[in-house]
Amino acid sequence: MHPIIEKLSLSLGSELRNILNYWKDNTIDNVDGGFVGERDHFNNLVPNASKGIILNSRLLWSFSAASNHYKSNEYKDICDRSYNYLKTFFKDENYGGVFWELDSKGSPINTRKQVYAQAFMIYALSEYYMFSGNKEALDWSIEIYELIEKYANDSVNKGYIEAFNEDWSPIEDMRLSDKDENEAKTMNTHLHVLEAYTNLYKVYKNQSLKNNLTELIQLFFDKFLTKENHLNLFFDEEWNLKSSVVSFGHDIETAWLLIEAAKVIENQELINETNKVAILIADRFLEKGIDEDGGVLNEYDPETGRLDGDKHWWPQAEALVGLRYAYNISNDEKYLNASSAIWEFTQKNIIDNENGEWFWRVDKSRNLITTEYKVGMWKAPYHNSRACINLS
């Protein structure tokens, strides 16, 4: 084993335990059930915080994936707790799918159907099924898959529409978050539909699902991948590009998730193509996406020249995985060297050695931003635990 791989494996294996212990010890909601909605940067519990589907679905995925990784029942109670809470409170019994947000007591306060959220439920439920063997979880994930295909799949222009009202009727404001463009098709949602369908196909060898995955991979080649080997982010319904911004974390995450999708459907032609594309993306990422201190930068807009030099927690994690895939394809040590520097940066600047887990971000000068939460709607153990699972 290469010395850098061995060193990273040991370190990331240890960090996986730290991450899981943090969420086990700090997020169980013994008052209202499930998991708490928010802890601030300093790890203080935020009273009566609402509960979001992204946090809750990612918790189910993370603890299920860790259980599968360890081949252990150590986290069974947390997995079951997470599944039961999602089923009892987030599941829409009338129209299918899951709600976006609940209040702290479990009552729905935002019932929109964001396709991104439905995809994460498929990802989580299929992983939980692999661990638990609970057929109900598999059936639910298939049901959500069929809802996405029924309502969100654009049979005319291809791809998936971003969001809907509670009853799956068209919605005017499709934005996933305040920082997003209000557009009908986004790279981010397509990436996580791809990721979810890849995981579901491992346990549901359905020909239509295989066809959907094949089409999704091709969409990334045809619509999202740019001539500069970045990924375009926002489009209207007819695939007119609506943004020039580059997200470095999404670039490198896409590189390895495309490979996994091609592998699971056992399409050798697509495996070869995704391997080739992954190297192109990784090389561009090394050139543009990493700062001198080893940290992964956030975003860049080539039209305006504006660089967002903040370093968020999740691109560091995705870069570790994407660069390992590039090394596995090429045997070029530059990818391992960059990974080593990113992990060193993360340990020094992103990991909270006092309270556990990872901080949201530091600025370009490595000053901690203390206004964002440690646990919340968009902060879960998914990116970092997944990197640790993949590489340890």
CA distance 351 to 353: 6
pLDDT at site 195: 98
Class of domain 3-391: mainly alpha
- DSSP states of 82-140: HHHHIIIIIB-TTT-SB-SEE-TTS-EEE--EEHHHHHHHHHHHHHHHHHH--HHHHHH
pLDDT at site 156: 97
Sequence ranges of the domains in the chain: 3-391
Please give the chain's pLDDT, 392 residues, in tens. Answer: 999 999 999 999 999 999 999 999 999 999 999 999 999 999 999 999 999 999 999 999 999 999 999 999 999 999 999 999 999 999 999 999 999 999 999 999 999 999 999 999 999 999 999 999 999 999 999 999 999 999 999 999 999 999 999 999 999 999 988 888 899 999 999 999 999 999 999 999 999 999 999 999 999 999 999 999 999 999 999 999 999 999 999 999 999 999 999 999 999 999 999 999 999 999 999 999 999 999 999 999 999 999 999 999 999 999 999 999 999 999 999 999 999 999 999 999 999 999 999 999 999 999 999 999 999 999 999 999 999 999 99
Ramachandran angles phi, psi of 186, nearest 5° = -130, 150
pLDDT at site 256: 98
Among all chains, which residue has been given the structure tokens 């990493």?
290
CA distance 258 to 273: 10
Amino acid at 380: A
pTM over 0.85? The answer is: yes
Length of the chain: 392
The pairing of beta strand 113-114 with beta strand 163-164? antiparallel
pLDDT at site 34: 98
Residues forming a β-bridge with 102: 51, 108
CA distance 230 to 224: 8
pLDDT at site 167: 98
